[in-house]
């Protein structure tokens, strides 16, 4: 399988969505087109599959393997693929890691185990990541949840994880507060070797990037990878005037995508892709359900405000 060796997660990494047919099976034709659309974006460093954005919690092991195989077939020769590791147990996480490496992934995004909502210790977190690291030589991205969820790693735990599991090369930071986020950037990117902070604070992306993140990993990249890439580069170039202009286009979409309930964020992105003519239908697997007409209308208005569609095309899409 093609693999981009020595890839260190950095830069702009869109997380693609997974289209479904009306019978809830994977719509492979639409998925292939979506992958090609996102991969054509200038300035991205990789693409993520089998994550929140692809509704990984509702996909079987075999479906996750198929999703990676399709992505590898369509774009794997051009871009590194980051594969999500969603599992409540460490043995299953290691099995998925082996599958992903065999399937040609270049890095792994490790979600925190759900049992950590009941409490965790540093030893538990390190054991989970060590089991995965023992199963694969691929670089790992630790998904940092808000501490209030119980699944986020306190600073001491996170630093010990990076020390004791050196294949952790980045975190996907969803800490949810500015001071903790800045601490991660300073502490982790200041290490040798650096552990890159990939922000997923997509609801306040501009503010987050200004703090100095070495990248971003976001489901809204399935729609606005070009705007995210432009914003990331503008901040790196210290061109804050350009960054503000781009953020003015991103903001209306962030406002509608990341409204309550957050579980619907990628549901909303699918509806946006339909409105833009990039997907034939917006089908989600339960427990998610079809959005209301009023919410779809709000998404349409945000697309117009972001200058991604005209009022004329919006009327035609209605």
Average pLDDT for 69-79: 97
Average pLDDT for 93-112: 98
pLDDT for position 4: 78
Average pLDDT for 90-115: 98
Please count the other Cβ atoms lying within 10 Å of the Cβ belonging to residue 43.
Answer: 13
Q: Is residue 315 predicted with pLDDT exceeding 80?
A: no
Q: Where are the domains of the chain?
A: 11-238
11-238: CATH homologous superfamily? Aldolase class I (3.20.20.70)
pLDDT bracket for residue 287 (50, 70, 90): very high
Over the stretch 160-210, which tens digit does the pLDDT of each residue have? 999 999 999 999 999 999 999 999 999 999 999 999 999 999 999 999 999
- Residue 216 contacts by C-beta under 8 Å, 6 or more apart in sequence? 11, 12, 13, 198, 199, 200, 202, 205, 208, 209, 228, 232
Q: Is residue 316 predicted with pLDDT exceeding 90?
A: no
pLDDT bracket for residue 310 (50, 70, 90): confident
Q: Is residue 3 predicted with pLDDT exceeding 80?
A: no
Q: Is residue 147 predicted with pLDDT exceeding 70?
A: yes
């Amino acid at each position: 399988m093609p693999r981009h060796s020595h890839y260190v997660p950095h830069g702009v990494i869109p997380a693609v969505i997974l289209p479904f047919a009306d019978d809830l099976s994977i719509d492979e034709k639409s998925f292939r087109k979506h992958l090609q659309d996102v991969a054509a974006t200038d300035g991205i460093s990789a693409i993520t599959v089998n994550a929140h954005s692809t509704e990984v919690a509702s996909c079987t092991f075999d479906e996750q393997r198929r999703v990676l195989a399709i992505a590898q077939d369509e774009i794997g020769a051009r871009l590194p693929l980051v594969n999500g590791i969603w599992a409540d147990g460490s043995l299953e996480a290691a099995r998925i890691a082996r599958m992903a490496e065999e399937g040609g992934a270049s890095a792994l995004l490790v979600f925190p185990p759900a049992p950590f909502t009941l409490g965790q210790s540093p030893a538990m977190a390190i054991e989970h990541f060590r089991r995965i690291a023992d199963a694969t030589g691929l670089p790992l991205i630790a998904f940092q949840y808000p501490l209030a969820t119980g699944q986020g790693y306190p600073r001491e735990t996170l630093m010990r994880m990076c020390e004791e599991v050196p294949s952790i090369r980045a975190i996907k930071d969803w800490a949810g507060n500015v001071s903790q986020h800045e601490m991660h950037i300073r502490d982790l990117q200041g290490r040798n070797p650096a552990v890159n902070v990939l922000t997923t604070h997509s609801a306040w992306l501009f503010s987050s990037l200004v703090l100095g993140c070495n990248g971003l990993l976001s489901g809204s990249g399935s729609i606005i990878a070009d705007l995210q890439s432009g914003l990331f580069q503008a901040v790196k170039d210290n061109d804050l005037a350009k960054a503000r202009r781009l953020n003015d286009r991103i903001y209306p979409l962030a406002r509608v995508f990341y409204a309550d309930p957050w579980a619907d964020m990628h549901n909303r992105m699918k509806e946006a892709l339909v409105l833009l003519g990039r997907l034939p239908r917006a089908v989600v697997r339960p427990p998610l359900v079809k959005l209301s007409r009023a919410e779809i209308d709000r998404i349409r208005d945000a697309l117009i405000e972001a200058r991604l569609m005209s009022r004329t095309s919006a009327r035609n899409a209605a």
